[in-house]
Amino acid sequence: MEKTKRKKLDITFESDVSWKPKERTGQAETKGNNSGESKGRIWEFIAIASVPLVLVLGNSMLVPILPDMQERLGISQFQSSLVITLFSVTAGLVIPLSGYLSDRFSRKSIMIPSLIIYGAAGVLAGFGAIWNSYTTIIIARAIQGLGAAGTAPIAMALAGDLYKEGTESKALGLTEASNGTGKVVSPIIGSLLALIVWYAAFFAFPVFCALSLLAIMFLIKEPEKTKEPMKLGEYLRSIGKVLKEKGRWLITSFIAGSVSLFVLFGVLFYLSDILEVAPYHIDGVKKGMVLAIPLLGLVITSYTTGSLIKKNGTVMRWLINIGLGIMTVALGLCIFLFNKNIYLFIGLLTLSSIGTGLLLPCLNTMITGSVKRDQRGMITSIYNSLRFLGVAAGPPLFGWMMEKSHQMVFITVATMALITLGLVFFLVKPHGKVGG
């Protein structure tokens, strides 16, 4: 019996944020305090959720205008794809540095200037479009990637700082749902803005960015640090210690998150491409609405999952494995049915997105809560860096596979989902009420 217990994966959730309950002086006062606290918490949730939403809008709104950009600037399809890919690669490479700085100083001290850089570079990209300067646009997008590195990944760490228990998992589920919501609405918004002028999205984005900036500045009160930040050498040793002690399941979880987003974005890229050609000929806003169907399944599932798991390790383990199992089956069926019926095909892709929605909030909660506050920024940043690189790799690799064989696309992603399921099943095993 003792040996069996020792084999269980020990995932604990820690926090340095102190909390003291207020004394109850009367029923009416208690009710008022709870009401005020709930309202304040709702605004905090909105502020945190606005960051991943803005991050997605700044990238995905541009997807519908890429064909116009090619025509107006006289560039190739590969050059236009760099507008998306360079942004994601730059962000993915810089995120770990942003994570360290947020641990060293504070979350808001990194998020606020990052949002300013992100929005300002959007304006520069807009002027690059007016000047018909592809070089200016590319430089601006690289700068935006630098700004993006200090936004959503740090917001995930901030949620871990602010909340405990079920509230934390709910907040993280909401950030994932907000991310998905951005993916749903951004192609539609981008298509609508293009009706005004093809580069309107570049100038519209900084407005959303400014709203998120104000929300973070005035609606979030970051917990004070309880101890002096570690020096760089000590900090790196502490991160190494975390990875040595918990690396087996942490690295597996990083891989699972990266694979799930690689599959999600790659499959959506595939769907976007086939919708424009015979026999469908669906383009513009209509195509954006079709692409929104699988993403809507992701959004609803992510929010529901985050609200229900409440750091229950057993539930999280079941949902992670079920999510990957659903992805494997749905993508496996697409190998044989991708060209049979468009409604069935979109239904299978939506089912796969639902599987992703079961997976991601559980991974977010486990990873964010697995370490102390002064290490959380780096750990969540490594995770988000791999997610960004997964997103960046999706479209070009799927484009290459589509040239070889449509069936090759789904054989590859179904196999990846199955391998990830095997890794997670054997290496990620939280038990009982995780974190006590």
> Above 90 in pLDDT, residue 121?
yes
- Please give the Cα distance from 159 to 91 (Å, whole number): 20
Residue 129 has pLDDT above 50, yes or no: yes
Most confident of 336-340, 360-364, 418-422: 418-422
Q: Which residue has the tokens 């025509």?
A: 71
Q: 37 lies in a domain?
A: no
For residue 83, being part of any structural domain is answered with yes
The pLDDT of residue 114: 93
* Higher pLDDT, residue 17 or 47: 47
The stretch 324-340 carries a mean pLDDT of: 91
Q: Answer whether residue 25 shows pLDDT above 50.
A: no
- Inform me whether the pLDDT recorded for 130 exceeds 90: yes
* Range from 7-21, 138-152, 258-272, 349-363 carrying the lowest mean pLDDT: 7-21
Please count the structural domains in the chain.
1
> Which residues does 332 contact at the CB level (< 8 Å), separation at least 6?
410, 414, 418
**DSSP category for residue 371:** S
| pLDDT at position 40 | 59
Q: For the chain, what is the largest distance between any 2 Cα atoms, rounded to a whole number of angstroms?
A: 72
User: Is the pLDDT confidence value at 7 over 50?
Assistant: no
pLDDT band at 120 (very low <50, low <70, confident <90, very high): very high
Distance (Å, rounded) from C-alpha 29 to C-alpha 272? 55
Contact of 84 with 139, CB cutoff 8 Å: no
Q: What is the mean pLDDT of residues 402-426?
A: 92
Residue 216 belongs to some domain of the structure:
yes
- Sequence-distant (6+) residues with CB within 8 A of 432 are 312, 313, 314
pLDDT tens figures, 149-169: 888 778 878 887 787 766 777
CA distances from 162 to 14, 18, 127, 224, 313 (A): 12, 10, 39, 10, 21
Q: What is the pLDDT of residues 217-238, one digit of tens each?
A: 988 888 777 667 777 777 788 8
With b meaning 16 or more CB within 10 Å and e meaning fewer, what string describes 136-168?
bbbbbbbbbbbbbbbbbbbbbbbbbbbbbebeb
Residue 359 domain-assigned (yes or no): yes
Is 6 domain-assigned? no
Task: Judge whether residue 290 has pLDDT over 70.
Answer: yes
Above 70 in pLDDT, residue 29? no
The enclosing domain of 118 has a CATH number of 1.20.1250.20
- Euclidean distance between CA atoms 269 and 264, whole angstroms: 9
Instruction: Check residue 39 and give its pLDDT.
Output: 58
Picking from 120, 151, 134, the residue whose alpha carbon sits closest to that of residue 51 is 151
Is residue 246 assigned to a domain? yes
Q: Residue 38: inside a domain, yes or no?
A: no
Q: Determine the average pLDDT of the residues in 162-189.
A: 78
- Owner of token pair 């969540």: 380
Q: Could you tell me if residue 3 is inside a domain?
A: no
- When the pLDDT of each residue in the chain is averaged and rounded to a whole number, the result is 81
Q: Is 12's pLDDT higher than 50?
A: no
Q: Which domain holds residue 163?
A: 45-220+229-427
pTM of the model: 0.76
pLDDT for the residue 257: 92
